[in-house]
């Protein structure tokens, strides 16, 4: 029994420690080893500071934290007469943690943005079967969400409360519904692409 | 000169201290005084913990912080035989700070979500003229963003890099463009509604 509680606690603690900046740093380093400023550069190129709301200082902190935990390792390199610079690589331990993070962001997280942040770093994180399952589950969840949203909407419209509701809240609600629909559309596109033979390179081979 | 630097520093420090949870607490309390748990209840009813990513513990912390700064004040109320509960109200100082926060979230912030979080608490924060100006500026910004996004997209498509780009990044980019378009649509709707005579109650009277 105590073991079960401990297990649960370990899980909770692990999930609390799942943060976007760690995911971004590990995700980029999984593709190739990089200098610290290169990671920042990639982040900016992909506008992740904007849409994923990942801030530079938190990325630097993540690099320090991940190095301490031995998820990444830094190596000083000297090129020509330049002062030595540190190039970071992901360790085996780091790769394992990245997969756990991916699973957390794309499956378990309650925050709907997390799925799309996770997907940036999908690269060979899952088998095709597992990925298709994740998409199916997520679409189901989104559809329920959308249905619930629409029902709430229709119900509100028929009450006195609706007339009193500020126009900007109404617009916000409508926008939410439209965004939801686009997410579902994108999930369908992902499914179609994942089933394309050419895209098999992005998945772990099934046993 | 020194005054100018100090002024700038004051501004930067103020903006660093602008956070979503403060906005949410002040925004809800501006409508009416509430118990702490009522604020949390409103937050859940509006699903702000999901789409705006405002977490409960940070809301409790915000309440403590805002009370210390005298932006909100708590008063113990006893009903019947129940133990006393604290009802929170916004102070005049708090109302002023809320308007500054609104301006920050809807105009200055670099994070594109912030505009939509700010708009939830628009209620009589601006004159109609000021609000229409904010909408025009934002639409302009979004249109440039969309144009830049589309150009980048078209440019990418014509290179070898595009073929190598993972399918999920392509879907993500397309989704981003669609979401951008919906935001612009919603800004247009807001403009139309703001110009509707019936919605004048939501604005400060022009002098």
Q: Which of A50, A123, A171 lies closest to B110 in CB terms? A: A50
Q: What is the structure's pLDDT at A90? A: 96
Q: Is B189 on the interface with A (CB under 8 A)?
A: yes
- Beta strands in B55-196, from DSSP E residues, in sequence order: 72-77, 85-90
Look at residue B98 and tell me whether its pLDDT is greater than 60.
Answer: yes
Per the CB < 8 Å rule, is A172 touching B119? yes
pLDDT tens per residue across span A140-150: 998 998 888 78
Per the CB < 8 Å rule, is B123 touching A172? no
Name B77's bridge partners. Answer: B85
Q: Is A117 on the interface with B (CB under 8 A)?
A: no
Residue A12: pLDDT band with limits 50, 70, 90:
low
**Residue A70: Cβ within 10 Å count:** 12
- CA dist., res. B197 & res. B200, Å (int): 6
Residue by residue, DSSP assigns B122-158 as: -TTSSBHHHHHHHHHHHHHHHHHHHHHHHHHHHHHHT
Q: Is B199 on the interface with A (CB under 8 A)?
A: yes
**Exposure string for B144-178, b = 16+ CB within 10 A, e = fewer:** ebbeeeeeeeeeeeeeeeeeeebbbebbbbebbeb
Q: What is the structure's pLDDT at B12? A: 60
- The residues in B 4-63 lying below 8 A from A, measured between CB atoms, are 49-51, 53
Look at residue B193 and tell me whether its pLDDT is greater than 90.
Answer: yes
pLDDT tens per residue across span A150-176: 888 788 888 887 878 899 989 998 998
Burial of A148 (0-12, 13-18, 19+ CB in 10 A): exposed
Whether A149 contacts A100, CB under 8 Å: no
Look at residue B192 and tell me whether its pLDDT is greater than 90.
Answer: yes
Per the CB < 8 Å rule, is A186 touching B174? yes
A77: DSSP letter: E
Per the CB < 8 Å rule, is A167 touching B194? yes
Find the residue in A nearest to B180 (Cα). A179
Q: What is the structure's pLDDT at A10? A: 65
Higher pLDDT, residue A47 or B29:
B29
Q: What is the structure's pLDDT at A17? A: 65
| Arithmetic mean of pLDDT, A21-34 | 92
Conformational region of residue A76, where left means phi above 0, alpha means psi within -120 to 50, and beta covers everything else: beta
Query: Can you tell me whether residue A75 is helix, strand or coil?
Result: strand
pLDDT tens per residue across span B11-48: 665 555 678 999 999 999 998 999 988 988 888 877 78
Look at residue A26 and tell me whether its pLDDT is greater than 60.
Answer: yes
ipTM of the complex: 0.83
Per the CB < 8 Å rule, is B120 touching A168? yes
Q: What is the structure's pLDDT at A185? A: 96
Q: How many CA atoms lie within 13 A of B36 on its CB side?
A: 19
- Beta strands in chain A, from DSSP E residues, in sequence order: 34-35, 72-77, 85-90
Whether B147 contacts B140, CB under 8 Å: no
Per the CB < 8 Å rule, is A168 touching B193? yes
pLDDT tens per residue across span B103-156: 999 998 877 788 999 999 988 789 999 999 999 999 999 999 888 888 887 888
On chain B, the residues whose CB falls within 8 A of the CB of A174 are 186, 189
Find the residue in A nearest to B179 (Cα). A179
């Amino acid at each position: 029994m105590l073991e079960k509680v401990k297990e649960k606690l370990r899980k909770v603690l692990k999930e609390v420690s799942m943060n976007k900046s760690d995911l971004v740093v590990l995700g980029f380093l999984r593709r190739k080893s990089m200098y610290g400023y290169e990671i920042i550069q990639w982040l900016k190129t992909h506008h992740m500071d904007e849409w994923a709301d990942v801030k530079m200082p938190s990325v630097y902190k993540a690099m320090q934290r991940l190095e301490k935990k031995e998820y990444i390792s830094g190596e000083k390199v000297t090129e020509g007469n330049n002062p030595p610079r540190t190039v970071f690589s992901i360790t085996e331990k780091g790769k394992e943690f990245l997969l756990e993070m991916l699973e957390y962001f794309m499956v378990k997280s309650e925050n709907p943005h997390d799925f799309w942040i996770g997907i940036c770093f999908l690269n060979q994180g899952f088998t095709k079967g597992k990925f298709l399952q994740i998409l199916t589950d997520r679409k189901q969840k989104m559809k329920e969400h959308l249905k619930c949203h629409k029902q709430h909407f229709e119900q509100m419209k028929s009450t006195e409360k609706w007339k009193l509701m500020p126009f900007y809240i109404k617009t916000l609600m409508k926008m939410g519904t439209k965004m939801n629909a686009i997410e579902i559309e994108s999930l369908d596109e992902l499914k179609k692409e994942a089933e394309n033979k050419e895209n098999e390179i992005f998945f772990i081979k099934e046993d």
